[in-house]
Amino acid sequence: MRERQPCVYILASGRYGTLYVGVTSNLASRLMQHRDGTVAGFTSRYGVLRLVWYDVADTMESAITVEKRIKKWPRDYKFNLIERENPFWEDLATSLGLPPL
């Protein structure tokens, strides 16, 4: 993945735990911000740090559109989305070169 690439991502606190849906143009950098707690907010408050799903987009506008659509989905739909590509809810951040949690 190139350094600047719009994408939508889902973080989880654990399997079937709290979920966070976000969008960024630099996934690895944004994940480090979540993990370091440099930006106070939902993910630091609830310990939502594990990258369980992400999708690369062509433009930031299309990534934002997908993010808004997923945020409106029922919880079950989000679980199905994650489990289609990551059935064991592994931390995908390691595939981006980040250390495991």
Match 């606190």 to its residue by tokens. 13
Cα–Cα distance, 44 to 13 (Å, whole number) = 10
Write the CATH number for 11.
3.40.1440.10
* Residue percentage of the chain with pLDDT more than 70: 97
Cα–Cα distance, 61 to 50 (Å, whole number) = 25
Does some domain include residue 52? yes
Does some domain include residue 86? yes
Provide the pLDDT confidence category of residue 38 given band limits of 50, 70 and 90. Answer: confident
Does some domain include residue 89? yes
What sign has the CA pseudo-torsion 52, 57, 60, 62? negative
Does some domain include residue 2? no
pLDDT tops 60 at residue 1? no
Structure tokens, 89 = 């809810």
Does some domain include residue 1? no
**How many structural domains are present in the chain?**
1
Does some domain include residue 75? yes
Does some domain include residue 101? no
Does some domain include residue 79? yes
Q: What is the pLDDT of residue 39?
A: 81
Residue pLDDT, tens place only, 61-76: 999 999 999 999 999 9
Give the global pTM.
Answer: 0.94
Range(s) of the domain holding residue 30: 7-96
pLDDT tops 80 at residue 3? no
Cα–Cα distance, 59 to 57 (Å, whole number) = 6
Grouping H, G, I as helix, E, B as strand and the rest as coil, residue 58 is: coil
